[in-house]
Amino acid sequence: MLEKFSFKVDASLFWIIFWAIFFFPIALLLLFLNGEFSSTDHRYYIDYNGSTFWLCFWMIIFFPISILLIMFNGLTLCKESKSVAV
């Protein structure tokens, strides 16, 4: 059985478009941290355990430090089941 997924972003589209024009990695980071995939039964999203501000700051200033922040603080892939009302 083929399962279909939808993608939703809980962020301002203005900032995503702004950063996509001026500095593309920040736009990807915002989509990555604020996006979620949904199916009929589950919801998947990524939770960054550190400060999003500092991650974006170091992404702009010096990219390798942002990679180190992700490695040290960690990412969590969250999966939530959607409750079915009976």
Measured in degrees and rounded to the nearest 5, phi and psi for residue 52 equal: -65, -35
What span, in angstroms and rounded, lies between the C-alpha atoms of 59 and 33? 14
Range of the structural domain that residue 36 is part of: 6-81
- State the average pLDDT over residues 3-7: 85
- State the average pLDDT over residues 57-83: 89
17-66 residue pLDDT tens: 998 999 888 888 888 888 898 988 888 999 999 998 999 899 889 888 98
Residue 75 pLDDT > 70: yes
Flag whether 1 is in a domain: no
Domain count, the chain: 1
Flag whether 10 is in a domain: yes
Flag whether 76 is in a domain: yes
Residue 86 pLDDT > 90: no
Helix (H, G, I), strand (E, B) or coil at 17: helix
Flag whether 86 is in a domain: no
